[in-house]
């Protein structure tokens, strides 16, 4: 394990032309303090967890000091926000501190969110607030626990600094990690400036560092687009299967690596609702749960358009054509596992869709229903009353129960084998909004950060029964049913 001063930086993005970034250092906090630290993320860069106890750690990640070799920059990108192109985005409040190579040779960006104003900040203050950093810290780690590709969170740095949002809040910084923070919008920035040479340079950079298996291919740009399409399709299929709604799927929030990035007003579905909208500023439901599939495809078309100087239109259309089939194949694979189906059958899609439709009518908790489904009995005749009672009108469950029994019987799989397999893909715990809210209120109102760590420990192992933490799987309580999640952070 390494000390923080021994981290090995290899700042590949900084070696691109200066049009790709703004050289800038973080604006430090006065009186910073450590809110929480994630040893799991630290292990990705071989960082000794004991380093978090040192003043140097706090100074480096609050902007007071700089780690030797880090070379901070704010990344340049643009993008479509709620369907409208915005040429003035970029890292307005985040700074890429540097890229660290671990002992395996893997590269990880250290990205400091809330680090202060950069040239891309426009009229904004460049800060993040404690509320939003807690949500991102917890959700990125919860997504990792679920097995969904995501950025990671190393730590949160708190402060006494006051930040004006809808109300005055406390400023904070989050250190997040990813193999790359390049986005669809990174390519759009140069497309709309008609800088084809920079588009090629960026594509070559991403291919060489993150799609190296393609760099010697004659048609590498077409294959690159195809792989981005397929990675994105698989990511969205996981979001849909686990009930995650991102909330702000702008093209600048879409990773070129097909990972979940930029957690804002997200939410996991609780009572199943295909029209669920977690973002209180999404007045027309553009980024609702059911729209994520089509919006991701829309975003991919914008990315393909920005790459049109590298490939021709027919190649772009062909690559985009892989989206639907990849999504359906990936989604059905996950959902078959969730329903304990070991074989592929044509009727599975209908069985899944009927289940979701009935859950929506019955206002059934999505995560808890699928978890309890592992105890489903093929005997019928009241043996599945625990599931039946989850529906407002329990009679509608009967419509689906008999069909599901016939489907399970067709496979002749031992029930204990099926149960274990289903529990490996149906989590007991997700980051419900009210759980995050409890942790936030304790932190903001009482400077009590213990609930963040406690909740993180639960979400690290979402598939394992944790009797001491069973309360964390409870459905949303009445007091939290109308929680509003704001875009502002």
Query: Using an 8 Å Cβ cutoff, are 482 and 434 in contact?
Result: no
**Residue 366 is assigned to a structural domain of this protein:** yes
**Residues in CB range of 42: below 8 A, 6 or more apart:** 48, 49, 51, 52, 154
Q: How high is the pLDDT of residue 382? A: 85
**Element counts in the chain: helices (H) and strands (E):** 16, 13
Q: How high is the pLDDT of residue 467? A: 87
Strands 94-101 and 107-113: antiparallel
Q: Indicate the range of 45-49, 120-124, 348-352, 424-428 predicted with least confidence.
A: 120-124
Whether 252 is catalytic = yes
Phi, psi dihedrals of residue 158, rounded to the nearest 5°: -95, 175
Nearest CA-CA partner of 462 in 277, 242, 259:
242
Q: Indicate the range of 90-94, 369-373, 482-486 predicted with least confidence.
A: 482-486
Q: How high is the pLDDT of residue 470? A: 85
Given CA atoms 269, 272, 274, 280 in this order, what sign does their dihedral have? negative
Distance CA 228, CA 215 (A): 15
Can you tell me whether residue 155 is helix, strand or coil?
strand
Q: Which of 91, 109, 252, 262 is catalytic?
A: 252
**Residues in CB range of 155: below 8 A, 6 or more apart:** 34, 35, 36, 37, 38, 41, 52, 61, 174, 175
Q: Give the number of residues written for the chain.
A: 489
Question: Global pTM?
Answer: 0.97
> Over the stretch 163-202, which tens digit does the pLDDT of each residue have?
999 899 999 999 999 999 999 999 999 999 999 999 999 9
From 412, 427, 458, the end of a domain falls on 412
Tell me what percent of the residues of the chain surpass a pLDDT of 90.
93
Query: Average pLDDT over the chain, rounded to whole?
Result: 96
Buried b (16+ CB within 10 A) or exposed e, 190-206: bbeeeeeebbebbbebb
Q: Compute how many other C-beta atoms are within 10 angstroms of the C-beta atom of residue 219.
A: 11
Tally of structural domains, the chain = 2
123 pLDDT exceeds 90?
A: no
Distance CA 375, CA 277 (A): 31
395 pLDDT exceeds 90?
A: no
160 pLDDT exceeds 90?
A: yes
DSSP string, 66-133: --TT---EEEP--EEETTEEES--S-SSEEEEEEEE-TTS-EEEEEEET----TT-TTS---EEHHHH
Nearest CA-CA partner of 181 in 91, 301, 296:
91
Tell me what percent of the residues of the chain surpass a pLDDT of 70.
100
484 pLDDT exceeds 80?
A: no
Can you tell me whether residue 148 is helix, strand or coil?
coil
> Taking phi first (over 0 means left), then psi (-120 to 50 degrees means alpha), and beta for anything else, what does residue 431 get?
beta
Query: Using an 8 Å Cβ cutoff, are 64 and 54 in contact?
Result: no
Q: How high is the pLDDT of residue 381? A: 79
Q: How high is the pLDDT of residue 489? A: 66
CA distances for 446 relative to 113, 206, 450, 480, angstroms: 23, 44, 11, 20
Which H or E run includes 9? Answer: strand 8-9
**Residue 385 is assigned to a structural domain of this protein:** yes
**Residue 192 is assigned to a structural domain of this protein:** no
Q: How high is the pLDDT of residue 488? A: 67
Query: Using an 8 Å Cβ cutoff, are 249 and 272 in contact?
Result: no
359 exposure class (CB count in 10 Å sphere: 0-12, 13-18, 19+): buried
**Residue 169 is assigned to a structural domain of this protein:** yes
From 181, 200, 217, the end of a domain falls on 181
Q: How high is the pLDDT of residue 480? A: 86
Query: Using an 8 Å Cβ cutoff, are 233 and 225 in contact?
Result: no
**Residue 400 is assigned to a structural domain of this protein:** yes
Q: Show the domain range for 400.
A: 341-412
DSSP string, 378-396: TT-TTTTHHHHTTSSSTHH
233 pLDDT exceeds 90?
A: yes
**Residue 115 is assigned to a structural domain of this protein:** yes
Query: Using an 8 Å Cβ cutoff, are 302 and 314 in contact?
Result: no
328 pLDDT exceeds 90?
A: yes
Q: How high is the pLDDT of residue 468? A: 86
Q: How high is the pLDDT of residue 44? A: 98
> Over the stretch 250-294, which tens digit does the pLDDT of each residue have?
999 999 999 999 999 999 999 999 999 999 999 999 999 999 999
**Residue 255 is assigned to a structural domain of this protein:** no
Can you tell me whether residue 362 is helix, strand or coil?
helix
Given CA atoms 437, 438, 444, 448 in this order, what sign does their dihedral have? negative
Strands 152-164 and 168-178: antiparallel
**Residues in CB range of 142: below 8 A, 6 or more apart:** 430, 431, 459, 462
Distance CA 86, CA 350 (A): 40
Which H or E run includes 141? Answer: helix 130-146
**Residue 71 is assigned to a structural domain of this protein:** yes
Can you tell me whether residue 278 is helix, strand or coil?
coil
From 155, 181, 207, the end of a domain falls on 181
């Amino acid at each position: 394990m390494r000390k923080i001063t021994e981290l090995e930086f290899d700042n590949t993005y900084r070696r691109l032309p200066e049009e790709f970034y703004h050289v800038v250092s973080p604006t430090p906090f006065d009186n910073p303090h450590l809110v929480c630290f994630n040893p799991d993320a630290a292990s990705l860069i071989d960082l000794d967890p004991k380093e978090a106890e040192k003043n140097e750690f706090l100074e480096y990640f609050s902007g007071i000091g700089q780690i030797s070799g880090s070379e901070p920059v704010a990344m340049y990108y643009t993008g479509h926000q709620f369907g409208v192109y915005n040429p003035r985005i970029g890292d307005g409040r985040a700074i890429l501190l540097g890229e660290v190579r671990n002992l395996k040779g893997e590269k990880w960006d250290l990205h400091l969110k809330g680090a202060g104003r950069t040239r891309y900040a426009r009229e904004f203050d460049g800060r993040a607030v404690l509320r939003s950093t807690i949500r991102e810290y917890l959700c990125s780690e919860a997504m990792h626990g679920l097995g969904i590709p995501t950025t990671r969170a190393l730590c949160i740095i708190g402060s006494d600094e006051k930040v004006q949002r809808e109300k005055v809040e406390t400023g904070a910084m989050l250190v997040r990690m990813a193999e790359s923070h390049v986005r669809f919008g990174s390519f759009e920035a140069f497309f709309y400036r008609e800088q084809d040479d920079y588009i090629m340079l960026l594509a070559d950079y991403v291919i060489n560092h993150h799609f190296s298996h393609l760099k010697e291919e004659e048609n590498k740009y077409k294959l690159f687009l195809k792989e981005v399409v397929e990675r994105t399709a698989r990511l969205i299929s996981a979001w849909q299967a686990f009930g995650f709604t991102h909330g702000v799927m702008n093209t600048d929030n879409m990773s070129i690596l097909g990972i979940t990035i930029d957690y804002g007003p997200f939410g996991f579905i609780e009572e199943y609702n295909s029209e669920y909208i977690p973002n209180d500023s999404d007045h027309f439901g553009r980024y609702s749960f059911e729209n994520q599939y089509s919006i991701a495809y829309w975003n991919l078309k914008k990315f393909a358009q920005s790459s049109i100087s590298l490939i021709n239109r027919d190649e772009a259309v062909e690559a985009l054509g892989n989206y639907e089939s990849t999504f359906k194949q990936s989604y059905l694979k996950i959902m078959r596992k969730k329903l304990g189906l070991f074989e592929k059958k044509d009727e599975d899609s209908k069985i899944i869709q009927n289940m979701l439709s009935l859950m929506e009518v019955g206002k059934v908790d999505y995560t808890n229903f699928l978890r309890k489904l592992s105890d489903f009995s093929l005997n019928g005749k009241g043996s599945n009353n625990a599931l039946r009672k989850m529906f407002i009108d329990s009679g509608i469950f009967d419509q689906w129960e008999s069909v599901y029994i016939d489907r399970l019987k067709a496979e002749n799989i031992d029930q204990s084998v099926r149960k274990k397999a289903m529990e490996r893909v149906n989590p007991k715990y997700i980051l419900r909004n009210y759980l995050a809210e409890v942790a936030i209120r304790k932190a903001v109102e009482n400077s009590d950060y213990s609930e963040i760590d406690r909740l993180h420990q639960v979400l690290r192992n979402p598939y394992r029964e944790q009797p001491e933490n069973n309360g964390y799987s409870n459905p949303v309580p009445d007091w939290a049913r109308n929680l509003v999640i704001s875009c502002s952070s």
